[in-house]
Amino acid sequence: MKLLNSDRMRLVVVGYVATLVLCGGSAKADFTFGEPTNLGPTVNNSSNDRMPSVSTDGLTLYFTSDRPGGHGNHDIWITERQTSERNPEGYWIEPVNLGPAVNTPSTDSHPSISLDGLTLFFASNRPGGSGGEDLWVTTRSTTNEPWSEPINLGPTVNSSSRELGPCISADGLELFFHSNRSGGQGDHDTWVTTRATTSDPWAEPMNLGPGLNGPAMDGGPDISTDGLMLFFRSYGGSSYGGADIWFSKRATVNDDWDMPVHLGPPVNTSAEDSMPSVSADGYILYFQSNRAGGLGGYDLWQAPIIPIVDLNSDGVVDAADMCIIVDHWSTDNSLCDIGPMPWGDGIVDVQDLIVLAEHLFEEIP
Ligand SMILES: [Ca+2]
Ligand SMILES: [Ca+2]
Ligand SMILES: [Ca+2]
Ligand SMILES: [Ca+2]
């Protein structure tokens, strides 16, 4: 994917300024997004296909759909592929309903698969909860075993209001979600509950505060594998129309979130662009949209996340860019901190050379 130079420079500037202003100097790499593509008619259909969550190996995609063949209302479905090769068409097979252990005649939605693939958080308004949608969890001992009977996360996390959109962190110690419970900034907000170990109970949820949440509907959180980037959707702020996708960074998992940044085009459009989910390798942003070009209703879309590797902006990725990395070796230079994908790790090292090597000799217009 090649961006127009003016677009690219604008994103560089936005990213750079955001980094300086919002990250307090803990600089991380700049990146852009390629043109989103529809996951295609094997995965999407005329029903509402929404809320993607991809497994760590990139081979199983969990999502929500109200398509025929389910157990009633919205259900959780999966599609699989044999290779996670970054082919925009993918090799996803015909989706399969997750079955009656997890799905019910109620609304079953918002899947979030854990790093090890053995725990699935989701939302449901089935009987047995605290009222409205609640967060539930199902587990399995191996990826070949069936899912267990789901368990309600209980009244510390759930309330009589709506709890939706769970996203479990890679370490399993933070569970982000959205809720319209009291104590927020208005409408739905993003909240987080934490636990000391995966054996401990979840603590009282905390609102992420007025930086990330506003009076409009916010939520649909997705936490990056390193725990330092939170993608989410909001109907507020400088929306292009309907919901748009934003991100916020934090320097460490103990720091506050920076002011959020709007993803801009081509991810956000005047349609509803929502429910982001970044692949564990940091190369693909999955999301839902009802933009033109789909199969009907909401569809699942993906956009490549592209590191900015033409470090000297001379139009080609070559040895000169490698030299710039070497010149900044072992520093925290944000320009060179392009690996691991997609936002680096705060140090210029071999990870950055690896990412650059993947784009060697590419011409950047
Ligand atoms: Ca259902
Ligand atoms: Ca509830
Ligand atoms: Ca809100
Ligand atoms: Ca659809």
Dump pLDDT digits (tens) for 213-244. 999 999 999 999 999 999 999 999 888 999 99
Residue with tokens 């879309």: 301
Ligand nearest to the CA of 100: 1
- Residue 75 and residue 198 share a domain: yes
Write down the pLDDT at residue 10.
42
| Number of domains present in the structure of the chain | 2
Question: Residue 219 Cα, ligand 2 centroid: separation in angstroms?
Answer: 15
Which CATH number covers residue 357?
A: 1.10.1330.10
| Average pLDDT value for residue range 297-323 | 94
Report the distance separating Cα 241 and Cα 235, nearest Å: 8
Write down the pLDDT at residue 2.
37
Which residue in 212, 256, 250 sits closest to 234, CA to CA?
Answer: 212
Report the distance separating Cα 346 and Cα 252, nearest Å: 11
Average pLDDT over the chain, rounded to an integer: 90
For residue range 77-125, list pLDDT tens digits in order. Answer: 999 998 876 655 568 999 999 999 899 999 999 999 999 999 999 999 9
- Residue 314 and residue 280 share a domain: no
Which residue in 130, 131, 62, 125 sits closest to 99, CA to CA?
Answer: 62
Name the band, by pLDDT with cuts 50, 70 and 90, for residue 31: confident
Ligand nearest to the CA of 209: 3
For 15, residues 6+ apart whose C-beta sits below 8 A from its C-beta are 30, 31, 261, 308
Question: Residue 344 Cα, ligand 1 centroid: separation in angstroms?
Answer: 39
CA distances (Å), origin 134, targets 49, 142, 150, 177, 221? 21, 25, 12, 10, 16
111 — phi, psi (to 5°)?
-65, 145
Question: Residue 59 Cα, ligand 3 centroid: separation in angstroms?
Answer: 33
**pLDDT at 48 > cutoff 90:** yes
Question: Residue 23 Cα, ligand 1 centroid: separation in angstroms?
Answer: 42
Ligand nearest to the CA of 290: 4
Question: Residue 105 Cα, ligand 1 centroid: separation in angstroms?
Answer: 4
- Residue 316 and residue 294 share a domain: no
Please say whether the beta carbons of 337 and 349 come within 8 A: no
Range of the domain at 6: 1-30+310-365
**pLDDT at 346 > cutoff 50:** yes
Question: Residue 65 Cα, ligand 3 centroid: separation in angstroms?
Answer: 25
The angle that helices 319-327 and 350-357 make with each other, rounded to 10 degrees, is 170
CA distances (Å), origin 358, targets 8, 83, 324, 352? 19, 18, 16, 10
Write down the pLDDT at residue 82.
83
The CA-CA-CA angle for residues 333, 339, 342, to 5°, reads 110
Question: Residue 77 Cα, ligand 4 centroid: separation in angstroms?
Answer: 13
Question: Residue 215 Cα, ligand 3 centroid: separation in angstroms?
Answer: 4
Among residues 291, 307, 323, the one where a domain terminates is 307
Among residues 292, 307, 322, the one where a domain terminates is 307
- Residue 315 and residue 253 share a domain: no
Name the band, by pLDDT with cuts 50, 70 and 90, for residue 23: very low
Which residue in 49, 38, 36, 39 sits closest to 75, CA to CA?
Answer: 49
Question: Residue 202 Cα, ligand 1 centroid: separation in angstroms?
Answer: 26
Name the band, by pLDDT with cuts 50, 70 and 90, for residue 16: very low
Torsion of CA 150, 154, 159, 165, to 10 degrees: -40
Among residues 307, 339, 355, the one where a domain terminates is 307
Write down the pLDDT at residue 201.
97
Question: Residue 109 Cα, ligand 1 centroid: separation in angstroms?
Answer: 8
Ligand nearest to the CA of 158: 2
Report the distance separating Cα 64 and Cα 23, nearest Å: 34
Question: Residue 200 Cα, ligand 3 centroid: separation in angstroms?
Answer: 29
Ligand nearest to the CA of 233: 3
Ligand nearest to the CA of 72: 1
Question: Residue 220 Cα, ligand 2 centroid: separation in angstroms?
Answer: 16
**Is the pTM for the entire model greater than 0.85?**
yes
Question: Residue 60 Cα, ligand 3 centroid: separation in angstroms?
Answer: 31
- Residue 160 and residue 46 share a domain: yes
Question: Residue 297 Cα, ligand 4 centroid: separation in angstroms?
Answer: 5
Please tell me which residue, 8 or 49, carries the higher pLDDT value: 49
Question: Residue 51 Cα, ligand 4 centroid: separation in angstroms?
Answer: 12
Write down the pLDDT at residue 89.
55
- Residue 129 and residue 227 share a domain: yes
- Residue 287 and residue 315 share a domain: no
Which CATH number covers residue 76?
A: 2.120.10.30
Report the distance separating Cα 52 and Cα 277, nearest Å: 6
Question: Residue 259 Cα, ligand 3 centroid: separation in angstroms?
Answer: 15
For residue range 142-194, list pLDDT tens digits in order. Answer: 999 999 999 999 999 999 999 999 999 999 999 999 999 999 999 999 999 99
For residue range 50-81, list pLDDT tens digits in order. Answer: 999 999 999 999 999 999 999 999 999 999 99
- Residue 213 and residue 148 share a domain: yes
- Residue 119 and residue 16 share a domain: no
Question: Residue 41 Cα, ligand 4 centroid: separation in angstroms?
Answer: 9
Ligand nearest to the CA of 102: 1
- Residue 160 and residue 13 share a domain: no
Residues in a beta bridge with 190 = 178
- Residue 85 and residue 41 share a domain: yes
**pLDDT at 30 > cutoff 90:** no
- Residue 57 and residue 26 share a domain: no
Question: Residue 104 Cα, ligand 3 centroid: separation in angstroms?
Answer: 29
